[in-house]
Amino acid sequence: MDFSLFAELAINGALSGLMYSLVALGIVLIYKSSSVPNLAQGAMTMLGAYVVLAIANGIGLPMWAAIPLAMGTMFFVGMGIERVALRRLAGRPIIMILMMTLGLDIFIRATTMAIWGSSSSPMAIGISDEPLFVGPLLLNRSYVVGAVVAAALFAIFFFFFRTRRGIVLRAISDDYIASWSIGISVERGVAFSWAMSSVLATTAGVLWGSVQGVN
């Protein structure tokens, strides 16, 4: 087997894996702050991408403006999910919360299909389709950009969980009752983690949408 081809496939595979890790990062963010495994993160990624397209195509804004506006919208969507659905299940067995996130996943997928249909929608964010030549290797530019964004976000959240806010979220995850007893607003902390996870989902949705469209 040609070593150059093997290296090219391995590097492109690793880069695409880093893009997938953006979805995983959103799951970990919620789990680290509330011990809730969010099964709806994939659906929220799709929703974030559709919100970007809706703002760009519906309002006519350029992508550089539609993306941060969609992130802001998804921030409040995440907070709304915590307020409407998750907060009512506080103190319930974890299996009930797990099933709620599964139901949320089904609801988001069905709603987006009803509104935007099931056909794939292209998302052009200005990344060239031309491969990036690194010596004899051909790398997908979208994968490279996505990997750089993923690495940057990993670094940001690595340091975030060592800040005062991050330590509060970790304390909430370790023990709800103890956090309440020392005056930590558990509801606000969990809502913030869902909001940030929704922003991450939008980021992942935009990057993957630029590669394979949104559907």
What average pLDDT does the structure give for the chain? 87
Give me the mean pLDDT over the 48-74 stretch.
Answer: 92
Report the alpha-carbon distance of residue 181 to residue 173 in Å, rounded: 14
In sign, the C-alpha dihedral spanning 88, 163, 71, 14 is negative
Higher local confidence (pLDDT), 2 or 50: 50
Checking if the pLDDT of 86 tops 90, the result is no
pLDDT (tens digit, 9 = 90+) per residue, 89-139?
877 788 888 899 999 999 999 999 999 988 888 888 888 888 888 878 888
Pick from 109, 78, 80, 82: nearest CA to 97: 82
Name the pTM for this structure.
0.88
In sign, the C-alpha dihedral spanning 57, 61, 63, 69 is negative
Higher local confidence (pLDDT), 95 or 203: 203
Checking if the pLDDT of 1 tops 60, the result is no
- What is the length of the chain? 215
pLDDT (tens digit, 9 = 90+) per residue, 19-44?
899 899 999 888 877 778 889 999 99
Higher local confidence (pLDDT), 162 or 54: 54
Q: b or e along 124-134 (b: 16 or more beta carbons within 10 Å of the residue's beta carbon)? A: ebebeeeeeee
Higher local confidence (pLDDT), 33 or 199: 199
pLDDT (tens digit, 9 = 90+) per residue, 126-156?
888 888 888 788 888 889 999 999 999 999 9
Give me the mean pLDDT over the 49-61 stretch.
Answer: 91
φ, ψ dihedrals at 111, nearest 5°: -70, -45
> Are the C-beta atoms of residues 174 and 43 closer than 8 Å to each other?
no
Exposed, middle or buried, 83 (CB in 10 Å: 0-12/13-18/19+)? middle
